[in-house]
Chains A and B, each alone.
Chain A
Amino acid sequence: MTASANPWPVDQARIDANWRAITIELDAPTPGRLERLLRAAGLPGRVTRLVVATPALRRAWYLATGLAILIGLGATDAARPRENLFVLLVMAPLVPVLGVGLAYGAEADPAHEVTLATPMRGLRLLLTRAAAVLGFSTFWLLIAAILAPGRQPMAFAWLLPSLGLTLATLALMTTFRPRRAAAVTAVLWVLGVTWVRAGAADPLAAFGPAGQVLMVLVAALSAVVVVARRHRFDLLELRA
């Protein structure tokens, strides 16, 4: 049969392309449970991929959850409410700090070098991961704060320190490796609040208005440093 005799000319290339497209749609693996959940919550596929497909980030999430639950359990002990509140306020801001420290860089992500060579800006990727860790840990810690005895407003005084310390960690990451940056921030924080507590009558003095203002300043200063030195997140952490 000749082509001209065919009453329905066939564009084989187009049929092949369409068939291939159908095959791919049918064959492509479906996202995991967590990713489907995030998509159902309205997050676009590209974001859920960035958040879920990073094993390092999953580890940071698990750590954040574990720590938050431990802190929460401690805070709900009604026997020593003031002491427990102090522990909650000191420990809660450290959860996102450790999470961020574990979620980025060559130590955390085996594909870090490949990741750097893509057009996705390092800072954008870092902020996406930081937001994921911060959001996740904040969720659990808020539950802990709500369950804290007395339901006092002071139980939420870790929110600004969390933001300040997380940004401070990001700022230090422009100079130090992520884990070291997180460790430096954590040590300075614990030393700072312990020092304030030792010199004040109120054990929660570090979390009062002055402390909150200080944390806003730390957050603002750190944000400036992060933006100014954002190129550091686009390059390998090689020591020249």
Chain B
Amino acid sequence: MRAAQVLAFGLTRRFRSTEALRGVDLALEGGLITLLGPNGSGKTTLLRCLATVDLPSGGSTLIDGLDPRHESDRIEIRRRLGYQPQAPGMTPSSRVFDLLDYLAVLKGHDDDRVRRHLVYRALEEVGLDERVGDDVGDLSGGMIQRLGVAQAILGQPTLLLLDEPAAGLDPDERFRLREIVAARRHRATVVVSTHLTDEAAIGDTVLVLIEGRLRFVGSPEALAATAADRAWIQDTEPVGARATWRLGDGRYRCLGQPPPGAAPVDPTLEDGYLLLTSPVRA
């Protein structure tokens, strides 16, 4: 089973006067891709277009050479797709097993026994096989997010799209979810959106989307390297830095054009990201 190939050409999406996507070009195949961007940058819209539940206003996408604008292609893409939207959409009164079994029917698995095995396999992968008979309402927030991932990986998709799966989770659950998602990078093209830079760092490729435009495509190291010689630490509050924040020891970490005499420090992915998102000061 080969990881899906995802191509996008000049993708745009308009909602009345708002332009959520402005000419996004993409070429992805295999690995873990993290989609990083501030709130409202167009991450969800891009994932919805790739998941074929929304169609772009302009441009086009091709998943394994299939065009989602055509009905038969769209259905074929969906056979290869696992998608977790931002809102997991799970009814608290539903049983864990029933919910996944229902989605397995929607994914085209007609045989009861085959479905049961697929459901158990997905639940085992996310560590929820012991909760199979529980109501969704009895699960913790982290478990519900893992259940969302379980429904997405049901049937071993070759394209996995997860919209902010770690939002609102404690560090333990985030780590656990990260492991589950990262484990699939060799079997599928996995795209995970986030607005957390430490989540983005686990990707093989990082995409940075700002105001509907793709502003960076590359490895986490390459994103960090964009801040080389542009990150420094100083004792006093800086003037003219693009971005700055106070560290635990009272000093200031600064990004931008360092003043004369400032010693650059090793840049991080967060530095690179903040330089992309912070406006240049006049």
* Chain A residues engaging chain B, CB cutoff 8 angstroms: 21, 24-25, 27-29, 31, 44-46, 49-50, 53-55, 109-121, 125, 230-231, 234-236, 238-240
Contact = CB atoms under 8 A, between A and B. Distances in A.
Contacts of A120: 105-108
Contacts of A235: 53-55
Interface stretch (B75-83, B175-183, B199-207, B229-237): B75-83
Contacts of B174: none
A50 to B, nearest CB: 6
25 contacts: A24-B120, A27-B132, A28-B116, A29-B133, A44-B110, A45-B112, A49-B105, A53-B99, A55-B91, A110-B89, A111-B91, A111-B99, A112-B89, A113-B85, A115-B106, A117-B53, A117-B83, A117-B85, A119-B78, A119-B107, A121-B75, A234-B52, A236-B54, A238-B54, A240-B15
A113 B53 CA distance: 7
A111 B78 contact: no
Contacts of A21: 117
Interface string B100-116: 01110111101011001
B84 A114 contact: yes
A16 to B, nearest CB: 13
Which of A109, A113, A115, A117 is most buried by chain B, counting CB atoms within 10 A of its CB?
Answer: A117
A113 B89 contact: yes
A121 B106 CA distance: 9
Nearest to A117: B83
B84 A236 contact: no
Contacts of B103: 111, 114-115, 118
A117 B57 contact: no
A104 B116 CA distance: 26
B114 to A, nearest CB: 11
Contacts of A114: 83-85, 89, 103, 151
Nearest to A55: B91
Contacts of A239: 15-16
A27 B132 CA distance: 9
Contacts of A116: 53
A228 to B, nearest CB: 12
Nearest to A54: B102
A118 B51 CA distance: 9
A21 B101 CA distance: 16
Contacts of A125: 106
A159 B99 CA distance: 34
A236 B15 CA distance: 13
B116 A117 contact: no
Which of B15, B53, B85, B103 is most buried by chain A, counting CB atoms within 10 A of its CB?
Answer: B53
B215 to A, nearest CB: 24
Interface in B144-176: 151
B98 interface: yes
Which of B51, B74, B91, B113 is most buried by chain A, counting CB atoms within 10 A of its CB?
Answer: B91
Given A113-B89, A117-B85, A234-B53, 19 more contacts: A29-B97, A46-B105, A46-B110, A110-B90, A112-B89, A113-B53, A114-B85, A116-B53, A118-B103, A119-B75, A119-B79, A119-B106, A119-B108, A120-B107, A121-B75, A235-B53, A235-B54, A239-B16, A240-B16
Contacts of B151: 114
B94 interface: yes
Contact of A118 (B76, B107, B133): B107
Contact of B116 (A24, A110, A234): A24
A55 B136 CA distance: 13
Contacts of A112: 89
Which of A29, A55, A114, A116 is most buried by chain B, counting CB atoms within 10 A of its CB?
Answer: A114
Contacts of B1: none
Nearest to B110: A46
Contacts of B16: 239-240
B95 interface: yes
B247 interface: no
Contacts of B97: 28-29
Contacts of A49: 98, 101-102, 105
A236 B90 contact: no
Which of B15, B76, B81, B102 is most buried by chain A, counting CB atoms within 10 A of its CB?
Answer: B102
